[in-house]
A and B are shown apart, each in its own frame.
Chain A
Amino acid sequence: MDFTFPKEYQLLRRMVREFAQNEVAPLAREIDEKKEIPRQLIDKAARLGLLGVPFPQKYGGMGAGETGYCIVMEELNKVCGSLAVIIGAHIGIGATAIYLDGSEELKKKYLTPLARGELIGAFALTEPGAGSDAASIRTRAERDGDDYVLNGSKIFITNGKLSDVVSLLAVTDPSLGARGGVTAFVIEKTFPGFSTGTEEDKMGIRGSDTTELILENCRVPKENVIGEVGMGFITFMKTLDLGRLSLGAACLGAAQLALEASVKWARIRHLFGKPIAHKQSIQFMIADMATEIEALRSLVYRTAWLVDTGQPFSREAAMCKLYGSEVLHRCVDRAVQIHGGMGYMRDYFIELMYRDARITEIFEGTSEIQRIVIASDIFRQEGVRISP
């Protein structure tokens, strides 16, 4: 066993941290209020290689693996939930679906520009009647000559508006259900018949758009099928496994910042003649935050190690997402409490963190879905099959 981060990861962390602190943090509040991320910020991230961290260099990526990607998500989510979510949807699920199962041609055509940040990606699974219950999607793809013709709509799509290409799931054979009847496609936003609909107004992560996608006789060439026809559900589930791990890492970063801010505040805020850091109620909140964060850190980087060494990791990734989002929730809640009235004020970043954090227990599989993933993996080993 060796828990040391190799030098290249330490350098990567330093580089991302500098970018996050110097370039992103000063804009975080404005991003939230204007509900928009400055394009030059994304371009800057792209120039640093941050839009293709886990992918091999031959596809335009940084080649830093899941461990490197987790480091990036951890550092970015410390300063700006919106940017982390944009990159998470772009890399963690959008481009990852192509990376995992796409043909060599598809990778060259789409993954490389995505990894370089020349294109922005998105991942479209959720529909009005299919979110947690992902197997119930209705969007239809029918073969017509060398094309597929897609009809239907997707909702709550992160980067729906911002993205250039979307990895999207549609039903190719309604008689076969999730396994065999569902196919993943890469769709360019410029394909005729594709349009974006309503953009949601949200509690937090307001700089990242959450938008409806509409497909009306949208023609997609058959070359744009990711992997094999009928196997899209599996591609998407594998993709979400990786997405969950990186969200755990993102939660780790924000929780860490909530702790650091709380410690700083507890030292400078005086009550009853002394800094509130001298009160046990405050000390114990800080101790609990630090303890849970330390446990989460081990869990996240051990899971990243499982991925990078080619071992199974579905259960552990679900644990990272579940535990990460719940630890983050508790940490930002305590941070607001420690900051008192200041924690509720919009001129201070704790308020923003509190709103941004809440989504992590919901998107890319709610906490309840993560528990099903974990429990079904455990019971499967005992020969008991559970269904959601």
Chain B
Amino acid sequence: MDFALDEELRMFQKMFRDFAQNEIAPLAETLDREERPPLETLKLAAEQGFLGAPFPERYGGAEIGTIGYCMMLEEIGKVCMSTAMIIEVHTSIAAMGIYLDGTEEQKQTYLKPLALGEKIGSFALTEPGAGSDAASVQTTAIRDGDEYVLNGNKIWIINGSIAGTFVVFARTDPEKGARGITAFIVEKDTPGFTVGRNEKMMGLRGVPVATLFFDDCRVPAANILGGEEKLNQGFVTAMKALDYGRLSVGAICLGVAQGALEAGVQFACEREQFGGPIALKQAIQNFIADAATEIEALRYLVYHTAWMVDQGQKYTREAAMAKLFGAEVAGRVVNNMLQTHGGYGYTKDYPIERIYRDVRASRIFEGTSEVQRFVIAADILGERGLKIRP
């Protein structure tokens, strides 16, 4: 047992922290106000190798392992959740989907430019009738010679308007439910594929979230993720990528909560009421103590799960726990830190107002808290021979 960060991880942590503080933090408020993605930051991140952090070097990645990658998301999440989410979807589910199940050729052709940050990735699963119930995908892909013809809409797709490469899930067998879904790699300029306008959201306003339209969009059969042998196995790819994504979101939430706590502590020391700093009030101290405790518990839940990934262990349950606990802790912490800020917390003068709006999404995207609870319970009960349905 060794909970220490080795020399390399400590070095990475410092590098991520410096990058987040110097390059990302100063833009956070602007992205929110202007409702635009941080393209300039993504360019810098690409130069640093931050857009392919967990992938092997032979695919253009930085090969820093999942613990290192989680630390990166944590540090970015601490200062700007929008930027963290763009990088997370790009890396953890889009590029990771190709890395996990793609053919060697697809990895060279599509993963490499993603890992190098030459292109941004996106992951298109959700539809008007299929979100939490991912097996109900209606977008169709019908074979026509050497191609598949895609028809349907995907909604709420993160990175939709800035991505060059999309992993798109479509139905290739109408009879088979989850076992009739295939993952395709679709490039931005493919005829018949258009991206709609960005959604207007409560928070995460720096994240471009768009509808994708597929109108007789022809995709080469060679673009089936994993090749022909993975036909109708897209759901499995989606679930594997989402496992990685859930852990990643847990890491972002850890950063968001930590950032909010630090802001709350600082405010409590500076703000004076009844003749002294409000830090002297037990009501405030309780907020701080509870926040710090839950964050400490979350931190090692996240790192432990990341370690399991790097050890090649099964981690579906733990990833769902990291997402569930991360989102719930971050939600509570941010809410209590906003309360600590009082009226100032409700104004745009302090980042906590934006963070409060941003963090609310974490209990919803990449599987709601309810879906995570189902995944966890299904795994526990499944281990004891009972199969449950959502």
Contact surface of A with B, Cβ cutoff 8 Å? 1-6, 9, 67, 263-264, 266-267, 275, 277-278, 280, 283-284, 286-288, 290-292, 294-296, 298-299, 301-302, 305-306, 309, 315-316, 319, 322-323, 368, 370-376, 378-379, 382-384, 386
Contact surface of B with A, Cβ cutoff 8 Å? 1-6, 9, 67, 265-266, 268-269, 277, 279-280, 282, 285-286, 288-290, 292-294, 296-301, 303-304, 307-308, 317-318, 321, 324-325, 370, 372-378, 380-381, 384, 386, 388-389
CB distance from B381 to the nearest CB of A (A): 5
How many contacts between A and B, using CB within 8 angstroms? 155
Summarize A's interface: helix, strand, loop or mixed: helix
A298 with B304: CB separation less than 8 A: yes
User: What chain A residues lie within 8 Å of B373 (beta carbons)?
Assistant: 283-284, 287-288
For B376, give its contact among A291, A309, A372 (CB under 8 Å). A291
A267 with B381: CB separation less than 8 A: yes
8 A-B pairs in the complex with CB atoms less than 8 angstroms apart: A1-B3, A267-B386, A301-B1, A306-B3, A315-B292, A323-B294, A383-B269, A386-B280
A4 with B1: CB separation less than 8 A: yes
Additional A-B contact list (14), CB under 8 Å, known A301-B1, A386-B279: A1-B4, A1-B67, A3-B307, A278-B388, A287-B375, A291-B376, A294-B321, A295-B297, A296-B297, A298-B297, A305-B2, A372-B282, A378-B289, A382-B269
A323 with B293: CB separation less than 8 A: yes
Please report the C-alpha to C-alpha distance between residue A117 and residue B344 in the assembled complex, in whole angstroms: 58
Provided the pairs A374-B293, A379-B279, A384-B279 are in contact, do residues A287 and B377 lie with their beta carbons within 8 angstroms? yes
Identify the closest chain A residue to B261 (Cβ): A378
Please report the C-alpha to C-alpha distance between residue A368 and residue B282 in the assembled complex, in whole angstroms: 9
Please report the C-alpha to C-alpha distance between residue A292 and residue B386 in the assembled complex, in whole angstroms: 22
Please report the C-alpha to C-alpha distance between residue A247 and residue B388 in the assembled complex, in whole angstroms: 35
A299 with B296: CB separation less than 8 A: yes
Summarize B's interface: helix, strand, loop or mixed: helix
6 interchain residue pairs of minimum CB distance: A298-B300, A375-B285, A283-B377, A371-B289, A287-B373, A295-B297
CB distance from B261 to the nearest CB of A (A): 9
B1 with A378: CB separation less than 8 A: no
Provided the pairs A283-B373, A302-B300, A372-B285 are in contact, do residues A322 and B293 lie with their beta carbons within 8 angstroms? yes
A379 with B301: CB separation less than 8 A: no
B381 with A277: CB separation less than 8 A: yes
For A287, give its contact among B279, B304, B372 (CB under 8 Å). B372
CB distance from B94 to the nearest CB of A (A): 27
Provided the pairs A286-B377, A292-B325 are in contact, do residues A378 and B265 lie with their beta carbons within 8 angstroms? yes
Q: Which of A301, A372, A378 has the most CB of B within 10 A?
A: A378
User: What chain B residues lie within 8 Å of A267 (beta carbons)?
Assistant: 381, 384, 386
User: What chain B residues lie within 8 Å of A315 (beta carbons)?
Assistant: 292
B1 with A323: CB separation less than 8 A: no
User: What chain B residues lie within 8 Å of A288 (beta carbons)?
Assistant: 373
CB distance from A124 to the nearest CB of B (A): 27
B289 with A295: CB separation less than 8 A: no
